[in-house]
Structure 1
């Protein structure tokens, strides 16, 4: 039996808005049992106390529970939920609902999707090699689920990972365990970084011998060109979604990726667009091409050296607005100008995800 992947992009009015999802289901355009993952951009601050992510996950679980004959916890146990907080600048809040169905259509070579989950992490494992290795195992399992036999078939890996809170740190200390950091915000970066290095390990981008607790969040020369990790308070495990191309899948969706070398690397965005069959002609996508764009996913991160192509930026020096919020707005503006749309999955915090100050970008589009 051939499989076919589909993506449904749904605008949201607020973080708990599931009306668009429910409407698609009620209209028969979306089958709940076929949902394997939901990605979303919510309008929180993207930091430790961004509970718009947890609110969205809870509402999605509640909406799907009766339609799947499960409890809310049952839904969240089987459907990967990746809510990325922060829609700074002109970014538009939305959901991306990923479905996989069996079909009688002939395999044509198309987008393939697989998901997998790690076990829940102990607080002392977050940001350390235990998280790296568990993530690598989950990536390999998601590849197996998608029928992707080679790392070269993988274009993008989206990970949702946990962070440390004061309560989680205290629980570890009560057992005599030391955590990677007592700074809850710093724990987000360490968790993202460990997750990204797990992707790099699974995709053979970084050798196991180069990895240790000490390099996580420090040796930025080690990175994945296909990893995107988003940290949140709403979970304790890593949830992994692998996007690739398989000759055994059917459908009209294709995916391509590139790596932005810095926050204003427009040519890299255009390279990914061309790889997905979209004509850029050196400028913004026209209405027809923009209509074929199904999703654009990209990582954003301020460069650690405080410059972009030799010119100073102040993202790290602004005490009022978090640096990753600046980066999301900046990169969001660059990619929006390239595609003529603002409903884009721009995720902040790119530790070990692309080179310092840059990040991977993936484009999913319908074939002409």
Structure 2
């Protein structure tokens, strides 16, 4: 088996022209694509419709090329759009192909698998139902990727839903209570429950530790390999599991670590050191989470990210962490996602690097 990863710059949320060219020239085989991750230049908040616009444009492109309905495309390709490219972050998409080809080496290579949860009812978002369904879907994605050991998983990227006033009202009409009626806060609950589902699936936490009341309250419970992003454009979780496994071609490989805080650029070197094989090779993608520390401090100095009424804290965090990591890597097309509830320690977050072996 072989996973290939392609990175394309985008000129707008609905710009699929670079991918269209790659498909037309045979650089990418649409029939082999299992997931597309993207950073769009919206605000990353409830009303960030750049995510939906990008999802729609990609769905229509694959529908056209594959000769499938939009619904059929949605059932075979995970489209994970993360809003917000504040600071110097560059909008881009990452396209993942999986091909049934023999591995050219015995070293473990990048393994990838996708899975989807059923659609959630509004009252299930941010609660045990979402945790449990996510854990089941992560295990399913691992099985599809042929990853047998939890420790071989290096990153789990999830797109999850959020609550709108209409969704809250629909639940209330049925007599159901949602986790929160604050629609922005619901993004945190959904991200947090999804991350705890990853932790449960990978054995980072035990079932007895998890309950509704833990979500967005007990932040000592977290996954070191989960990255979750909430959006208005769906009501289920779409999951991409990435790891290294035998039997997968080692041209592409992945390594991960956890940023201890927003300034922990050394996490890049630590993640690269965990990439198997001789030498890390060319950096193809970097995926990371960003979250302001809840105590208002970064290495003993005060920050005001939680106190700015004009710019949301997650937007501050994306810009800060994006700048730190761009300075370390020399690249701005980085998948930095804000909102790291239960994703790494307070003020830090999981980070992964995908590399491609250099051709000698």
Give the TM-score band, short-chain normalised. over 0.9
The match for 1:60 is 58
Once residues 76 and 123 of structure 2 are traced to their aligned partners in structure 1, the CA distance between those partners, rounded to angstroms, is 25
Q: 1:84 to 1:267 in 2, by over 3 A?
A: same
Report the 3-state secondary structure (helix = DSSP H, G, I; strand = E; otherwise coil) of the residue aligned with 2:46: coil
Provide the TM-score with structure 1 as the length reference: 0.95
Q: 1:279 to 1:90 in 2, by over 3 A?
A: farther
1:341 equivalent in alignment to 2:331: yes
The match for 1:285 is none
Once residues 277 and 7 of structure 2 are traced to their aligned partners in structure 1, the CA distance between those partners, rounded to angstroms, is 18
The match for 2:42 is 44
Report the 3-state secondary structure (helix = DSSP H, G, I; strand = E; otherwise coil) of the residue aligned with 2:100: strand
Deviations along 1:76-130, one digit per CA (max 9) or x if unpaired, are 2221010000000000000000000111344532000010000000000000000
Q: 1:9 to 1:236 in 2, by over 3 A?
A: same
Deviations along 1:328-367, one digit per CA (max 9) or x if unpaired, are 0000011111111000000000000000110000000012
Once residues 150 and 241 of structure 1 are traced to their aligned partners in structure 2, the CA distance between those partners, rounded to angstroms, is 16
Question: Which 4+ runs in 1 deviate beyond 2 A?
Answer: 104-108, 273-280
Aligned residues: 357
Pairwise mapping of residues 144-223 of structure 1 onto structure 2 (< 5 A)?
Answer: 144-223=143-222
1:357 equivalent in alignment to 2:355: no
Deviations along 1:180-208, one digit per CA (max 9) or x if unpaired, are 00000000000000000000000000111
The match for 2:296 is 306
Provide the TM-score with structure 2 as the length reference: 0.97
- Residue ranges of structure 2 left out of the alignment (5+ in a row): none
1:292 equivalent in alignment to 2:282: yes
State the superposition RMSD in angstroms. Answer: 1.5
Report the 3-state secondary structure (helix = DSSP H, G, I; strand = E; otherwise coil) of the residue aligned with 1:5: strand
The match for 2:10 is 12
- Residue ranges of structure 1 left out of the alignment (5+ in a row): 281-288
Deviations along 1:124-181, one digit per CA (max 9) or x if unpaired, are 0000000000000000000000011110110000000000000100110010100000
CA contact (8 A) 1:277 1:367 kept: no
Once residues 37 and 229 of structure 1 are traced to their aligned partners in structure 2, the CA distance between those partners, rounded to angstroms, is 15
